[in-house]
Structure 1
Amino acid sequence: MDAMWSASTIKVIGSGIDDPDFADKLSRLIGDHDVETTSTSTSESGKSTSVSMRQERILPADAIRALPKGTALAFATGLRAAMLDLRPWYLEPGAAELSAASARASKGITERAVAKAAPKQADFDKAA
């Protein structure tokens, strides 16, 4: 799976990531940003304010895990990650045609897989 993931040039990840290691990898891919922190202290000589910068994850792993339904992350080679608002295709005009085409394609894939597995099963039955 890692090899397939690494070889893909465009990746879209939707809600429902429950693997903490994978969510953390995605978080690291998204990256960090600078956060300004202001500190104020008071002493006998007066008030002092200092500003410092620290790095913080743009989207931590727990936020990736909690992506709302209808939201996805897109990763494309050479580009920064993007958060997408998905459009429910099943509510769009032409959804019935898309659904029918999907059902035909799924049926064809299943038929080809069964046909390819059938000779192997026959060989297994002969050996038994």
Structure 2
Amino acid sequence: MRAAVLQAERDGGRLDPPMLAILDEAANVCKIQDLPDLYSHLGSRGVIPITILQSYRQGQRVWGETGMDALWSAATIKLIGSGIDDADFADKLSRLAGDHEVQTLSVSTSASGKSSSVSMRQERVLPADAIRALPKGSALLLATGIRPALLNLKPWYREPDADRLGAASKKATAAITERALAKAPSGRDQYGPAA
């Protein structure tokens, strides 16, 4: 990512096309301590970080509460899958999804007859218990500038191009593994100093 930022600066400020930096298992495998501080800076340089965590608390364990809040706030697109068992986080997501007005009809009976009235009340669009109960294969999308959305995910391995995608993934994984194994004991390899 740092090399990409240097290249962006040589190219006038931004990479064109942008580079995706996919940080899978970011709290376990690639614990980049200053990631929360880098997040918005990277985006402004055309380096788009995609950070994948198993839970919000896992991120707090690595970057602290302030760091995880900064990372969360800087991310313009958030995709939350099923399996949320953290009540506080589920409530936070519910608040982010917002409220909507619901009509309530009240009917009363008195000596003079029956009367009815309609009142409005606020209700959560997606209560915390509904977030906790998201079925596998669905996700909550929170993106800057749009209303929250519930998505049905389409697994790549069920798509018509699954064989081609699987072969490309296997080839890329083998190349990454080969480069990692080629690393010399001195801490340097053909790609420069060790991270």
Q: What TM bracket, shorter-length normalisation?
A: 0.7 to 0.9
Does residue 140 of structure 2 align to residue 78 of structure 1?
Answer: no
Which residue of structure 2 aligns with residue 94 of structure 1?
161
Does residue 106 of structure 2 align to residue 39 of structure 1?
Answer: yes
1:100 Cα shift?
Answer: 3.5
1:27 Cα shift?
Answer: 0.7
SS at match of 1:29: helix
- For 2:141 and 2:89, the matched residues in 1 are separated by 15
TM-score (norm 1): 0.79
Does residue 66 of structure 2 align to residue 29 of structure 1?
Answer: no
| Structure-2 change in CA distance of 1:103 and 1:18 (3 Å) | farther
- For 2:128 and 2:178, the matched residues in 1 are separated by 36
* Bigger Cα Rg: 1
> How many residues matched?
119
- Moved segments of 4+, more than 3 Å: 100-107, 109-112
1:99 Cα shift?
Answer: 2.5
Looking at both structures, which has the greater relative contact order when contacts are Cα pairs under 8 Å and sequence separation is at least 6? Answer: 1
Matched letter for residue 162 of structure 2:
A
2:121 to 54, 79, 90: 54
1:44 Cα shift?
Answer: 1.0
- For 1:101 and 1:5, the matched residues in 2 are separated by 31
Which runs of 5 or more residues in structure 2 are unaligned?
Answer: 1-67, 188-195
Percent identity between the two aligned chains? 68
Indicate the structure with greater helix content: 1
Which runs of 5 or more residues in structure 1 are unaligned?
Answer: 120-128
